Amino acid sequence: MEVVNTITVMQEKCENLRLSGKRIAFVPTMGFFHEGHLELMRVGREISDIVVVSIFVNPTQFGPHEDFESYPRDMESDLAKAEGRNVDLVFAPSVNEMYPNGYQTKIMVEKVTKHLCGLSRPGHFDGVTTVVAKLFNIAKPHIAIFGEKDHQQLTVIRRMVKDLDMDIRIVGVPTFREPDGLAMSSRNSYLNADERASALSLNKSLDLSEDLCHQGEREVLKIRGAIEAFILRHPHTAVDYITICDPHTLEDLEILKKEALVALAVKVGKTRLIDNRVIKPA
């Protein structure tokens, strides 16, 4: 496994890999790997010749009062884990390598960013799309792999790739969970024992929404209310949003007719967690 820190070296290596006929799968990450990340690498290994992983905590996707500074980092452990998954190439640039003096460009996806996390984290998705486009231009992948835990991120990236005619196949991988159902997240490391227990309410509330749907409930307001009440019964929780929407446009639904995305963001103590599920009336 090779680790590269500069854009020009990375581009040259990836271009040569392409020219030699290899298919590149790319897993962009912010590091601090958990099993969810490793699963993305495993999928990449399965469907391509070369697996490239980037590790970059991207400042432009954090708001001014968010956790950019304190976001967990552990490069040494990450590299060992990536090597354990037979990753070929890791790109780990500095912030200055990615955003040198004079930097002034951004990519905006205008509609699907205006829902869910886009409302509570203004500018977040501009940061995501811009850095992902940069990383695509650096790693030159045929395939890029993202977790479905951030369903909106995946939707936004699919939209950007389609709109800007990027010749890259986007693969979504189902959320990897702890045995008790908590969605894997680097931010889970922020939780104390009490909060960890309450954090289970996210996934359980998604179970509840699915049960209600299968029992015939079609009114979004009622399902949403049940989810909220359920979560708030758990200590240290505060709801950021609970949304039931079209999985593609992310526009709010009022009545369940076909596939719907239930997406939520909940603060547990000071830690903001997200989870989601696609439910479907029988």
Catalytic positions: 37
Nearest distance, CB of residue 14 and a second copy, angstroms: 9
DSSP string, 156-198: HHHHHHHHTT---EEEEEPPPB-TTSPBP-GGGGG--HHHHHH
- Cβ proximity to a second copy: between 166 and 226 the closer is 166
Determine if 280 is a binding residue for a second copy (CB under 8 A).
no
Determine if 106 is a binding residue for a second copy (CB under 8 A).
yes
Q: 7 φ, ψ to 5°?
A: -65, -45
- Cβ proximity to a second copy: between 107 and 232 the closer is 107
- Cβ proximity to a second copy: between 88 and 126 the closer is 126
CA pair distance 92, 102, nearest whole angstrom = 21
Determine if 11 is a binding residue for a second copy (CB under 8 A).
yes
CA pair distance 92, 2, nearest whole angstrom = 11
Token pair, residue 255, equals 């009545």
Segment contacting a second copy by CB under 8 A, of 131-139, 146-154, 217-225, 272-280: 131-139
- Cβ proximity to a second copy: between 151 and 234 the closer is 151
Report the Cα 41 to chain-centroid distance in Å: 14
Of these, 121, 124, 140, 149, which contacts a second copy (CB under 8 A)? 140
**CA max distance for the chain:** 57
User: What number of other Cβ atoms are within 10 A of residue 220's Cβ?
Assistant: 19
User: Between residue 160 and residue 179, which ones bind a second copy under the rule CB under 8 A?
Assistant: 160, 163-167
Pairing of strands 260-268, 271-279: antiparallel
Of these, 58, 130, 175, 203, which contacts a second copy (CB under 8 A)? 130
- Cβ proximity to a second copy: between 247 and 269 the closer is 247
Of these, 94, 120, 137, 189, which contacts a second copy (CB under 8 A)? 137
- Cβ proximity to a second copy: between 1 and 166 the closer is 166
Determine if 101 is a binding residue for a second copy (CB under 8 A).
no
**Cβ atoms of residues 10 and 91 within 8 Å:** yes
Of these, 2, 5, 9, 15, which contacts a second copy (CB under 8 A)? 15
Of these, 107, 154, 200, 239, which contacts a second copy (CB under 8 A)? 107
Query: H or E stretch including 129?
Result: helix 124-139
Determine if 27 is a binding residue for a second copy (CB under 8 A).
no
41: three-class secondary structure by DSSP: helix
Determine if 110 is a binding residue for a second copy (CB under 8 A).
yes
Nearest distance, CB of residue 98 and a second copy, angstroms: 8
CA pair distance 253, 170, nearest whole angstrom = 26
* Bridge partners for 252 per DSSP: 245
**Cβ atoms of residues 262 and 217 within 8 Å:** no
Which chain residues interact with a second copy by CB under 8 A? Answer: 7, 11, 15, 18-19, 21, 103-112, 129-130, 133-134, 137-138, 140, 159-160, 163-167
